[in-house]
């Protein structure tokens, strides 16, 4: 239990540095990572190596995605595409039903796309819709992000659920069908209904994300070209995934399709398309477009550092062996396999921050139980995924993305984002247990 207590003290130290001493989240995460690593018995040099490794691996996978994502969002926003799409959605669904519009968009985008990619693409739409309807930003944004999070945690073809399903030898088609049935109530309760209770939270997002000049309708691009430009990364990734199911694995066409469907490459292609459709075609010079893109990237410099530092904290926890300790302790508990794997994944998620790591570690622990208990492997995938979403907090990069983009305090981020994640996790477990009765 000592390692768990040390981790808990580390989280308290992090909160103390940020809330009481008003230290930057970046410095607070680095200091906490050093303190926790040493307290867990790691040599100081190993702690530094873990911090460097964690920051490098996290930013290595996210820097291009976040960079190209913010560029694409800036191009569509400056070109009038966001305004055109959000206006059409508001007119189609009505102001009272805007939440359902963003839920559908989040779910459709979330199934084929990585969470981080979907986040940076859709956040500009959230800001634009909230501004035009004068509805609270959390009221509009949380349902969409709940959709993205749930599809990321439960559903193939995301890496975590897919890898877990492979370990369990689950049928991916059935997993997707069962997962959608469980995801719908989780999104409604965790995203839509829960957002109604958060009227006291007042986001203060960075100015560059919300202060976008809206062009006149006559100067805006058409709805379909705006929608195509905004969803092009989704289309490329989904199209690539579909073709890879039928193409020979080691063939040259499969390699090309896989390259195009890589999230970073799909976003890069989309940025080039947007440079024309939202820039050149709107009468802007290439210099103006490039200057705007450079400005958009500068605006997320601190966000990148904070996310990298969160990755460092996670890496220290992983390298110190805390995750293995928790897994060994949790594996001795006697529960239903579905409840057990959910609980193990939830504990590891809270300790380490990574949903994917939590899910895979939990899967490895309970794998022998599937054959001996005749539990549905598809439901085990969903229970594992639901547990891996439990209570995202300061050691999770998703927590910091939400906090920084929406301009919230740590307290308000916990009361909104962290509790939303907890709700979708618990509702997911309940849904799995109900399905288990009838399957």
Question: Does residue 237 have a cis peptide bond before it, meaning omega lies within 30 degrees of 0?
Answer: no
- Whether residue 33 contacts residue 309, with contact meaning beta carbons closer than 8 Å, is answered with yes
pLDDT in tens, 57-116: 878 867 888 888 889 888 888 888 877 887 888 889 998 899 999 998 888 878 766 687
> What's the confidence (pLDDT) of residue 37?
93
Q: Using alpha carbons, select from 185, 69, 128, 166 the residue that is nearest to residue 364.
A: 166
Closest C-alpha to 215, from 279, 120, 150:
279
Give the pLDDT of residue 214: 58
**Cβ–Cβ < 8 Å for 240, 253:** no
Per-residue tokens: 313: 């904290």
DSSP string, 153-203: HH-TTSHHHHHHHHHHT--HHHHHHHHHHHHHHHHIIIIIIHHTT-TT---
Biggest CA–CA distance in the chain, Å, is 66
Cα(145)–Cα(126) distance, rounded to whole angstroms? 10
Determine the pLDDT at residue 388: 94
Residues of the chain with pLDDT under 50: none
* Tokens coding 35: 């303190």
Other CB atoms within a 10 A radius of the CB of residue 248 amount to 9
Q: What are the extents of the domains in the chain?
A: 59-148+206-301
Nearest to 345 by CA among 397, 305, 375, 384: 384
pLDDT tens, residue by residue, 384-394: 999 999 999 98
C-beta separation of 394 from 15 below 8 A: yes
Tokens of 391: 């209570």
């Amino acid at each position: 239990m000592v390692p768990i207590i040390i981790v808990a003290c580390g989280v308290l130290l992090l909160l103390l540095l940020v809330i009481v001493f008003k230290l930057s989240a970046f410095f607070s995460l680095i200091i906490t990572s050093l303190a926790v690593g040493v307290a867990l018995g790691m040599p100081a040099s190993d702690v530094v190596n873990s911090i460097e490794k964690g920051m490098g691996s996290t930013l290595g996978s996210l820097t291009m995605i976040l960079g190209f994502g913010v560029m694409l969002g800036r191009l569509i926003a400056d070109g009038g595409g966001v305004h055109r799409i959000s206006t059409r959605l508001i007119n189609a669904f009505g102001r009272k039903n805007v939440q359902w519009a963003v839920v559908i968009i989040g779910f459709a985008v979330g199934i084929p796309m990585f969470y981080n990619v979907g986040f940076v693409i859709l956040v500009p739409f959230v800001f634009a819709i909230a501004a035009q309807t004068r509805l609270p930003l959390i009221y509009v944004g949380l349902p969409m992000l709940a959709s993205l999070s749930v599809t990321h945690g439960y559903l193939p073809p995301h890496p975590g659920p897919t890898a877990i399903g492979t370990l369990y030898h689950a049928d991916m088609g059935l997993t997707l069908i069962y997962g959608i049935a469980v995801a719908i109530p989780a999104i409604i309760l965790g995203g839509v209904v829960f957002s109604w209770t958060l009227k006291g939270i007042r986001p203060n997002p960075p100015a560059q994300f919300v202060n976008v000049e809206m062009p006149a309708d006559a100067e805006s691009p058409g709805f379909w070209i705006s929608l195509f430009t905004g969803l092009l990364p989704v289309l490329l990734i989904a199209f690539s995934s579909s073709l890879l199911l039928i193409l020979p694995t080691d063939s040259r066409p499969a390699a090309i399709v896989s390259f195009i469907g890589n999230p970073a490459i799909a976003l890069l292609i989309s940025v080039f398309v947007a440079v024309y459709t939202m820039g050149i075609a709107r009468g802007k010079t290439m210099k103006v477009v490039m200057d705007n893109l450079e400005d958009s990237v500068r605006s997320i410099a601190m966000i990148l550092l904070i996310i990298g530092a969160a990755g460092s904290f996670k890496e220290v926890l992983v390298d110190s062996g805390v995750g293995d300790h928790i897994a060994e302790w949790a594996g001795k508990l006697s529960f239903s396999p579905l409840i057990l794997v959910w609980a193990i994944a939830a504990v590891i998620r809270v300790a380490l921050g990574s949903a994917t790591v939590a899910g895979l570690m939990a899967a490895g622990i309970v794998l022998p139980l599937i054959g001996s208990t005749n539990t549905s492997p598809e439901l085990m995938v969903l229970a594992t995924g639901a547990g891996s979403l439990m209570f995202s907090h300061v050691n999770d990069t998703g927590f910091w993305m939400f906090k920084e983009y929406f301009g919230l305090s740590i307290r308000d981020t916990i009361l909104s984002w962290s509790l939303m994640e907890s709700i979708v996790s618990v509702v997911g477990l309940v849904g799995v247990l109900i399905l288990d009765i009838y399957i």
